[in-house]
Amino acid sequence: MPNAEVNGTTICYEEHGSGEPMLLIMGLATQMIAWPPEMVSALVDRGYRVIPFDNRDIGLSGKTQGPAPVLRDVLRGAASPRLARPDYHLADMADDTAALIAHLDLPKAHIVGVSMGGMIAQEVAIRHPEQVATLASIMSNTGSRLQGKPAASFMNEFRKSFLTPRPSSREQAVDFALNAWRQISGPHFDETEMRHMIELSVERDAEPIGRVRQILAILAAPDRTAQLRQLDVPTVVIHGLLDRLVSPSGGIATARAIPGSRLLMFPDMAHDLPRPRIGEIVDAIVTNAQRAPIGATRRAS
């Protein structure tokens, strides 16, 4: 599996298909293998060179050295962005993405991000507009603390997860992650499929301590609304009406902020990519990408 040494870290990525490049940015503490294979295949079939990757600190990408943050650090960051002390920012992760695009010798790419990946994708469009052909922001928000807030019931469960002893075995780690996915997913949750993905994730990265570092990067992020209003990039915003982690108001605020963006919301989607909706999600991403074709690009050697 190829690696790119970019922006002071190592980014592990994959490439599928050929055609116009489309980068897929995953969410908090989630590896690139979480992209549904049928979604990747559908994008390839529609003529795109699909490039998912592991964000820094997750999966097979480079890990930040030094002591890991603790609950006290998270609570301080949750109280105010000014009190957060992250090892890096979402802007740094956006620069990772831009550097990967340059590493692959691409003039620009279509950028698709989910959850934290949507925040990173927005930052790429803000910081590196010349490298972004189109933007798809899925189940994400603008960074405003007024919209897209987690449901109160979810936050109670989230706090409890920090107080739960760390899993001491592989099976406990899988069960812990499976329960977390169950909490944020909607009615189409497939436990067998999800368990298989989590088992692969544990094999690739048994100690994902980057989860807390990435949480702090999110908590330290400023409100991007004013900058999003200055964007000039074809954008589609996709969100689930059942999302408890990033409430639907986050998607609505994102669509309102980005000029000319299109909003698609599903009544049976939570904080997940439900299989019955993947065809429609792919259609929306491709329709948006067709608003600004890149043209022929050559594959990196």
Residue 161 lies in a domain: no
Q: Which of these ranges, 24-33, 52-61, 173-182, 265-274, has the smallest mean pLDDT?
A: 173-182
Residue 166 lies in a domain: no
Residue 162 lies in a domain: no
Q: Which residues contact 200 (CB under 8 A, 6 or more apart)?
A: 33
Higher pLDDT among residues 82 and 142, named by residue: 142
Residue 19 lies in a domain: yes
Residue 18 lies in a domain: yes
Q: 165: buried, middle or exposed (CB in 10 Å: 19+, 13-18, 0-12)?
A: exposed
Please determine, for residue 191, whether its predicted confidence score (pLDDT) is greater than 50.
yes
Amino acid 241: pLDDT: 98
Query: Could you give the 3-state DSSP secondary structure of residue 181?
Result: helix
Amino acid 116: pLDDT: 97
Please determine, for residue 157, whether its predicted confidence score (pLDDT) is greater than 70.
no
Amino acid 222: pLDDT: 94
Amino acid 63: pLDDT: 94
Average pLDDT, the chain: 91
R_g of the chain computed on alpha carbons: 18
User: Which domain, by its residues, includes 45?
Assistant: 3-149+209-289
Higher pLDDT among residues 264 and 1, named by residue: 264
Do β-strands 109-114 and 20-25 pair in parallel, antiparallel, or remain unpaired? Answer: parallel
Do β-strands 3-6 and 9-12 pair in parallel, antiparallel, or remain unpaired? Answer: antiparallel
Please determine, for residue 208, whether its predicted confidence score (pLDDT) is greater than 70.
no
Please determine, for residue 296, whether its predicted confidence score (pLDDT) is greater than 70.
no
Asked if 287 and 236 count as a contact pair (C-beta separation under 8 A), the reply is: yes
Please determine, for residue 187, whether its predicted confidence score (pLDDT) is greater than 80.
yes
Amino acid 114: pLDDT: 98
Amino acid 158: pLDDT: 60
Q: Please name the residue that has the structure tokens 């002390």.
A: 85
First and final C-alpha spacing in the chain: 14
Residue 176 lies in a domain: no
**32/26 Cα distance (integer angstroms):** 6
Of 242, 48, 62, which is closest to residue 136 (Cα–Cα)? 48
Residue 177 lies in a domain: no
User: What phi, psi does 21 have (nearest 5°)?
Assistant: -75, 140
pLDDT band at 160 (very low <50, low <70, confident <90, very high): low
**120/294 Cα distance (integer angstroms):** 21
pLDDT band at 133 (very low <50, low <70, confident <90, very high): very high
The fraction of the chain above a pLDDT of 70, given in percent, is: 93
Is-above-0.95 flag for pTM?
no
pLDDT band at 170 (very low <50, low <70, confident <90, very high): confident
Residue 142 lies in a domain: yes
Please determine, for residue 201, whether its predicted confidence score (pLDDT) is greater than 50.
yes
Q: What is the rounded average pLDDT of the residues 252-256?
A: 98
Q: How many domains does the chain have?
A: 1
The fraction of the chain above a pLDDT of 90, given in percent, is: 76
Q: What is the rounded average pLDDT of the residues 21-38?
A: 97
Q: Which residues face 10 on adjacent strands?
A: 5
CATH assignment at residue 27: 3.40.50.1820
Please determine, for residue 86, whether its predicted confidence score (pLDDT) is greater than 90.
no
pLDDT band at 159 (very low <50, low <70, confident <90, very high): low
**119/222 Cα distance (integer angstroms):** 11
DSSP 5-33: EETTEEEEB--BS-SEEEEEE--TT--GG
